[in-house]
Amino acid sequence: MRCFFTLLLLLHGVLSVSAQGAEAPPSGETADTAASAGRIKKLYVLPLVSYSPETSLRLGTASVFLFRPAGCSSNTQLSSIKVPLTYTLNQQQKIRFSYEIFLNDNRHILDGFVQWQKFPFFFYGIGAETAEEDEETYTSRTIGVQASYLNNVARRFFLGAQLSWINSKVLEREPGGQLSQEGNIAGSAGSVSAGAGLIVRYDSRDNNLNAGRGMYLQSSLTAFPESFGSDFAFTKLEVDFRRFLRPFRKHVLAFQVFAEYNWGNPPFELLALLGGDELMRGHYEGRFRDKTFWAAQAEYRLPINRPDWFGGKEKLGFWQRWGLAGFAGLGTVAPGLDGLADGKFKHSLGLGIRYLVLPKERVNIRVDFGFGTQRPGFYFNVREAF
């Protein structure tokens, strides 16, 4: 039913629209001089052309702006703003503005997105045993806003809050499909979900875009009560653990364990989704969905023609900037925590190519090929998957 072809033009000299280098300030310079030396601005525009029977010809761009805010020293992590835009000949559109901003030597972190989309999706049902032949398509118009703020309350600990508002309307459903049966699946005609929650984070990574050492642990708890205007009352708990090691001192070995648990009555679009371009690559995002989700993955990253994964110096030749990555994952969904041990696990395997565009800031352009229970997936981005 699906035919997918992707052509990606990824040339560093063309995609680098503007750049301003960042060098560490020499000892003895003033704080203002150090802050100025820490500034960096880099914009990448990645064109994308794809085709599938459901969307027809799909055109788009993914713009990524990497920067360090004015007044922030080079100790402050690099901030990012991403704006992907897609349009198809079937008049389907998607625009998303997302940001992650670090301020004042990482003491304050702003994170969130604003999204509008009218796009077709696949739906296979709910659970870990849905069949390929259960596939149906639906078109959803979604407006979403999410914003969070984190404050550094101790050396590596952060505490913050999060607000979410998602308005979804299902415009088209397949006649006779599961979503067309009113009352059978929560949110099958659309829903409004408004929530607020708390976030706790521990972060000892040496770089937020491409870590080589350290640990990251974040837990968030968000409630979507009817008193906030939600059509379906539910609560979402997410836990994300990551660990980064340097075997042989020159490569990177990364691990991630992610868990999500929903209780109450979440709409089907906000259930825990297996797949995507970050976790369980090689599975269509939402191929398997349920109230509970658990997954673990490992990734090995190594350079091709340079002594160290991170380059080791600011100036690298074109052929020295390339790297490889191999990854594997295991995960499943279930209606509850007890169902995660039933053995209905899905696997994910893949290979990736990296191009180091900013050696000092460790910024890679990522191209991944993931293999799961379906046809291979193709992913690209400006930063690592985790």
Instruction: Write out pLDDT tens, residues 317-327.
Output: 889 999 999 99
For 35, list phi and psi in degrees, rounded to 5.
-65, -40
pLDDT of residue 54: 53
Compute how many other C-beta atoms are within 10 angstroms of the C-beta atom of residue 248.
7
Q: Reply yes or no on whether the pLDDT at 203 is more than 90.
A: yes
Residues 343-357: what's their mean pLDDT? 90
How many independent structural domains does the chain possess?
1
Q: What is the SS3 assignment for 338? A: helix
pLDDT of residue 170: 94
Instruction: Write out pLDDT tens, residues 127-184.
Output: 998 988 889 999 999 999 999 999 999 989 999 999 999 999 999 999 988 999 877 8
pTM for the predicted model, two decimal places: 0.83
pLDDT of residue 373: 73
pLDDT of residue 6: 34
CA distances from 92 to 56, 220, 320 (A): 10, 32, 40
pLDDT of residue 24: 37
Domain that holds residue 10: 5-382
pLDDT of residue 99: 95
The model's confidence at residue 250, banded by pLDDT at 50, 70 and 90, is: confident
For 276, list phi and psi in degrees, rounded to 5.
125, -170
CATH code (residue 130): 2.40.160.50
The model's confidence at residue 263, banded by pLDDT at 50, 70 and 90, is: very high
Instruction: Write out pLDDT tens, residues 290-305.
Output: 999 999 999 999 999 8
Token pair for 122: 């696949």
Burial 68-105 (b: 16+ CB within 10 A, else e): beeebbbebbbbbebbbebbbeeebebebbbbbbbbee
Instruction: Write out pLDDT tens, residues 8-27.
Output: 333 333 333 333 333 333 33
